Structure 1
């Protein structure tokens, strides 16, 4: 019963994290206008994402434009696109794998086989979290560096947008969910005591 509960919790957290990755990937609020110095009172707010930039007027009107050229994008945006799309695909693969290895399905027979598949699903979700964490930290580092760089004009300074925080939350869910799925493998019936002991020893306390 404990193994099944951990399995369900891990799968639920992983799915929520995967949905968060997709949401963060599509949101245009990776970078937002910084309200500093002469830029405190502005008639518009600028949002910049992986795929488009948006201008929000003080009247509430919003206009978004998809980036025209991929080659004209900065390295971090190109890498961010590639890694978040990869993370979304990897997360989908993780979902399919964990469904096959779940106790509530009959795709496989035997606890040992299901346990190995579930372990693979947990590792895939952890990989998904790492993939999306890289562009999040990369872009956040650039935003912070440019914000404190006196050579960058105030009008071009940006702050971290909501999409970054959504992505970090999704990463935490994926890492935690994937770890729980790996942990549930160690608790499944039919796994040898030596394997179970080894897995429990390497899991974080």
Structure 2
């Protein structure tokens, strides 16, 4: 019963983690414009993995996708790749986990096969969670580096120019008084939480493996031996005749 509960809990956490990672990957709020000390707030910029958005004071939002791949920084493309790998591995693990649940009968699947499937799903959940955490951490590191190296002019003209010029940056620019600074967006925290939930779900799946493996020792405890059959033994005399006949 304990192994079944661990297996079910690992599947549930893995499913929630995959949903959270998918949501984080599709969100546009990976980095948000830092408006501390900004006098003019007519334009607000936030960026995601796939597009950059501008919000005007009127409430109108305009989003522009990244049409190029080669022109983007290598770290930015690495973040995309890590998140996609995490989603793909997590989705495959969820599908396999459904078939490996002990409460679901799949033909003549043996308990040992389901235990191996559960272990494989647990490992895939762990890898997917690490990919999501690594992707969000790499992006956060770029935001911190850009924030520390960017000098922001809090004056009237600098705030206006920074708001209009931030549209062209990939993950936040470096140098110049017209470059806006960016801080962590909500999508980063969603990605971190989703990766952590995936990681915990994978650990529970690996722990459930030991309880799901059938105990084979009880089948090998007693060795079966066929009873000895009585067979005649003949002693031959010198003349070649059967003089005596013994049975054992």
Task: Give me the TM-score of the superposition, normalised by structure 2.
Answer: 0.73
Compared CA separation, residues 46 and 184, structure 1 to 2 (3 A): same
SS at match of 1:177: helix
Taking the TM superposition and a 5 Å limit, the aligned residue runs for 1:1-205 are 1-37=1-37, 39-107=38-106, 109-151=109-151, 152=175, 153=177, 155-188=179-212, 190-191=214-215
Separation (CA, whole Å) in 1 of partners of 2:119 and 2:24 = 26
* Structure 1 alignment gaps of length 5 or more: 194-205
SS at match of 1:47: strand
Separation (CA, whole Å) in 2 of partners of 1:59 and 1:110 = 63
Separation (CA, whole Å) in 1 of partners of 2:70 and 2:14 = 33
Shift of 1:117: 0.6
**CA-atom RMSD, angstroms?**
1.8
SS at match of 1:156: coil
SS at match of 1:148: helix
Whether the 8 Å CA contact 1:76–1:135 is kept in 2: the answer is no
Moved more, 65-74 or 162-171: 65-74
Of Structure 1 and Structure 2, which has the larger fraction of its residues in helix?
1
Compared CA separation, residues 192 and 40, structure 1 to 2 (3 A): farther
Shift of 1:106: 2.1
Separation (CA, whole Å) in 2 of partners of 1:59 and 1:121 = 48
Shift of 1:91: 1.0
Whether the 8 Å CA contact 2:100–2:118 is kept in 1: the answer is yes
Task: Give me the TM-score of the superposition, normalised by structure 1.
Answer: 0.87
Shift of 1:110: 2.0
Compared CA separation, residues 162 and 106, structure 1 to 2 (3 A): same
Compared CA separation, residues 95 and 191, structure 1 to 2 (3 A): farther
Shift of 1:173: 0.3
* Structure 2 alignment gaps of length 5 or more: 152-174, 218-248
Aligned match of 2:168: none
Aligned length: 192
Shift of 1:18: 0.3
Shift of 1:30: 0.7
Moved more, 143-152 or 86-95: 143-152
Larger radius of gyration: 2
Whether the 8 Å CA contact 2:150–2:181 is kept in 1: the answer is no
